[in-house]
Homo-oligomer: A and B are copies of this chain.
Amino acid sequence: MIRVGIAGAAGYTAGELIRILVNHPAVELKYAQSESHKGEPIASVHSDLIYLPLSFADIDFEDIDVLFICMGHGNSAKFLAENLVPESVKIIDLSNDFRLKADAGEFVYGAPELNREKIRAARCVANPGCFATSINLALLPLAVAGLLPEEVTVTGITGSTGAGQKPTQDTHFSNRSANLSNYKVFTHQHLGEIGETVVAAGGAETTDIAFVPVRGCHTRGIMSDVVVRLDASLEQITEIYKNYYAEHPFVCVSDKPVYMKQVVNTNYCFLSLQKEGRKLLITSVVDNLLKGASGQAVQNMNLMFGLDEMEGLRLKANYF
């Protein structure tokens, strides 16, 4: 059994990790640490888990094989600077502190569909961002095939869980319900990860991605609509995508247009392709908390420990 600890366990992504890990057949969840909720039952925060006899505890490096860090952006780097994690403990970090090459150190960017072998060999993995995952998976095959044009336009619509647990006017139900708004237009922090992924896959350094993030009136899920103009036929492009993802069990290239709820509460990314003249639409749907965060983190853990990539991640879709 893999002995697992979670640091910063009171947030949304940690809640999802706990929900997955308590049913993972190869995992023993040793503790879920929270400074602010120490000593309280897990269910005081993640209130579906009232049948789980576990309370928030301290961190203990001795007792675990892997530590998931869910402490929030900036806090992971601080935590690792202040604490010496033994070499025997692998680390999967869910913040954006180690995703970019300039920050990475020994961290491998945890995108299994780009870096699977590196992840298998890694001690430390930087788990990708939710929008980054959704958009990377839409762009990767095109970039690898050398077909990605200079100009890419993306609208990505995300749910309220992407904004985290803290209540704000933007996540106030009275404001968010039946509403749509844009934010961080052309400047979203995931553009760095996306750009590096595109380049790693063979795309041009100069690729110009116009990314408009949209706040949707739903809780879970991202749909990214990626528009490019290029000459290759839909058949060629479809073959490229199907070949690229043939060996990646969590990415499905659909023959029909995909929609967001197909993947909510699962670790899947579904993609579809539509073309009219030179205009190509690549649609990518993921659950921002699973394939976009905690599910992918467990997928990375599976790879790092030599398990079946899907272990513990065959989740029943919520679907409705």
Contacts and interface: CB of A to CB of B under 8 A. Distances in A.
A214 B157 contact: yes
15 contacts: A47-B259, A51-B252, A51-B268, A157-B180, A161-B320, A171-B173, A178-B218, A180-B260, A182-B259, A183-B257, A187-B276, A217-B218, A220-B318, A265-B265, A289-B320
Contacts of A19: 316-317, 319
A168 interface: yes
Contacts of A216: 180, 216-217
Contacts of A289: 320
A29 interface: no
A155 interface: yes
Given A167-B172, A173-B173, A178-B219, 17 more contacts: A19-B319, A48-B268, A48-B317, A50-B252, A50-B270, A51-B268, A157-B214, A167-B167, A167-B168, A167-B171, A172-B172, A175-B261, A177-B219, A177-B320, A180-B216, A181-B260, A316-B316
Contacts of A176: 173
Contacts of A221: 178, 180
Contact of A180 (B46, B223, B254): B223
Contacts of A256: 47
Interface of A: 12, 15-16, 19-20, 23, 46-48, 50-51, 151, 153, 155, 157, 159-161, 163, 165, 167-169, 171-183, 185-187, 208, 210, 212, 214, 216-221, 223, 225, 227, 229, 249, 252, 254, 256-266, 268, 270, 274, 276-277, 279, 281, 283, 285, 289, 314-320
A223 B16 CA distance: 24
A217 B217 contact: yes
Contacts of A171: 167, 172-174
B182 A266 contact: no
Contacts of A266: 48
A295 to B, nearest CB: 10
A70 to B, nearest CB: 16
9 cross-chain pairs, A with B, having the tightest CB-CB distances, nearest first: A181-B259, A186-B276, A167-B167, A155-B155, A160-B173, A219-B320, A178-B218, A318-B318, A48-B317
Say how many copies of this protein the assembly contains.
Answer: 4
Contacts of A155: 155, 212, 214, 225
Nearest to A156: B155
Contacts of A318: 220, 264-265, 318
B281 A178 contact: no
Contacts of A281: 182, 185-186, 210, 212
